[in-house]
A and B are shown apart, each in its own frame.
Chain A
């Protein structure tokens, strides 16, 4: 029988996991297509370094000032700063995609205690944890220089605070991992995340309107914050600085109680993982259910005007749109943005004095919305995945695929514009007739004009994107550049033409010019479909390779 090797010790295992993390990072940078990642990482490293070192000085100075100026209670603010940074940054960095699965380590011979300790050590290797450790050390140094007697208390409370933060971060991470392992939950979270980011725009208007009224309620809540861990840590240090053992004991005991409670919870989570928690999404076998009666829908095809292939692509695009939580939520953006901007502008713009004019606001908002909504068209095969092969094995010309996709986009744009126009009419008022007609014709010109370029870009610079993920979801740099360039060009031309009405005194001139340009854009689009079909044939290998990865 083969000799069985003894298990590696705990220290050796921690060292191996640290080495694994480093090699994963290093190897990911060695890929040829990750040069931009490397540049991004270098820049992030420089800026991160400046941030950490700069704040080290700030934490040192803060701790020194608070203790030497006899305001030790304020040191809790520094603990709150570290706490918020440590706990919030991993949530943003984690994104909603697959990370290195810590649980995969369980296939190796490892006790539950070793798994737990490695899990905590793994948490300490994060950027947020390392930066926070640097700041805590700076605080300790600042406090010690101000009052040398506080050093033992700082070391004890600092250690407990680190343990509290790393345990909480791992606990939240572990729960998130469980929640996000399900595709639908992941997409829901992503949607909520996007919405919460958008809703940040509401903060300033809301504060302006309700800030003063909310202030007393907020002040009433403040005392309860004293029982949270950063405040308890601050109280313990403040009491130690003022030689009040009772306050120190109360603060440190409270903090340690939090550590104990979180340790128990984390141990429970890790035990579940250790026992082999199932997170798989694969459909489990089910007992055959009663078959639903299929809807008889063999009546006339509502898309009968289109060829079967174009209609099939259009239907598929609609289904993909409704099942892509992220994209679907971005459709809420245009009316929301009109609402947000109108909240800021109506009631008196600093420059225009009497509030914004609808003749300015309407074309400006429409241009902004086109900018947002057209961006995905420059990589329109991003979500096809392996399905892209079907377009090349099926008996069709690629122009049908473009037509199906473009018709869907135009329908969505038309609906969005109609919604935004309704919101605009409610919030700001309708623009004058000549401006309305000119803007609508300009939209036809810029949208159809961009579609031709976007189709070419989609074939030339494809990049696969995954549903419901944020990590590594990036368009091709060239596609972004092409989108940016064509939007600037078409936007610039449109702006000049729009204002030409004012300069020449002929208010209907822009509408006439845009009508001509829109007709030319439609002609150009139709003429481009066959050359693009030939291009698709030439580019099919690159396209399939990029999307089937």
Chain B
């Protein structure tokens, strides 16, 4: 098994005149729980889409598990799992039907697919509604199902785009339990999230992207060490994030302009 799970070289993606991802060199070691952070519109989803084959890079290259993605896309896809933005569910199937469909698409045999589907539905507490279509699931149920589908084939890298967005504490607990179990078994997890507390609690390593460029990368300790002053070791991820991408005083909205609110 290669030491490096994900490696990008000058990965770039433009949309017309806009450079959404600009010369990103990213390195994620195998088995890491990696948080990919950035403000809205920074390029997180574009990067994750390129890493999962949903979007072609304009330039640069990427290797996953030691394989160049573009010429080996089928082999790479066999070893990764994805919860894409919007979850990518077929809403007219039931949860079990969807998991069976995905399992077969990843080449699992029928018996294995059925067995794993049942286990996953049970674990995700979705087995009580065997005839309910995904369109009728709540948002949290859909997130749990999307994660179940992403792991059914036992991926070595798992990409999660905002897995905790709009999810209540109970569903989030289930998702975290599954992710914890996967990291224990050596799966590399690449996660984007706006909830910095969750990233701080779950992730061992973090990268921050801002305006398409990678502005920080390393373990939480390394990022804390980069903060000057005695308080560096006690700095939270939110403080690190704001110190790196936060707006300057001149750009920050002036609260005194809303004096009528108080």
Contact = CB atoms under 8 A, between A and B. Distances in A.
B203 interface: no
A387 interface: yes
Interface string B113-126: 01000100000000
Contact of A392 (B53, B90, B136, B261): B53
B77 A393 contact: yes
Nearest to A280: B138
Nearest to B108: A308
Interface stretch (B81-89, B206-214, B231-239): B81-89
B138 A282 contact: yes
Interface residues of B, number: 50
B190 interface: no
Interface string B128-152: 1110110111100100000001000
Nearest to B104: A312
A312 B74 CA distance: 17
A384 B82 CA distance: 18
A390 B133 contact: no
B138 to A, nearest CB: 5
B242 interface: no
Contacts of A219: none
A236 B127 CA distance: 65
Contacts of A281: 136
B132 A323 contact: no
Q: How large is the interface on A (under 10, 10 to 19, 20 to 34, 35 or more residues)?
A: 35 or more
Contact of A283 (B75, B111, B130, B137): B137
B240 interface: no
A9 interface: no
A537 B129 CA distance: 36
B128 A311 contact: no
Contacts of A294: 114, 118
Given A393-B77, A396-B74, A544-B54, A467 B102 contact: no
B48 to A, nearest CB: 11
B93 interface: yes
Given A289-B128, A298-B110, A324 B52 contact: no
A384 B136 CA distance: 16
B97 A393 contact: no
Contact of B74 (A316, A323, A397): A397
B114 A308 contact: no
A297 B97 CA distance: 13
Contact of A395 (B56, B75, B89, B132): B75
Nearest to B117: A294
17 contacts: A183-B135, A282-B138, A283-B136, A291-B127, A308-B104, A308-B108, A308-B109, A312-B105, A313-B105, A389-B54, A390-B90, A390-B102, A390-B149, A393-B77, A394-B77, A541-B54, A541-B55
Interface of B: 52-56, 74-78, 80, 82, 84, 86-93, 97, 100-102, 104-111, 114, 118, 127-130, 132-133, 135-138, 141, 149, 260-262
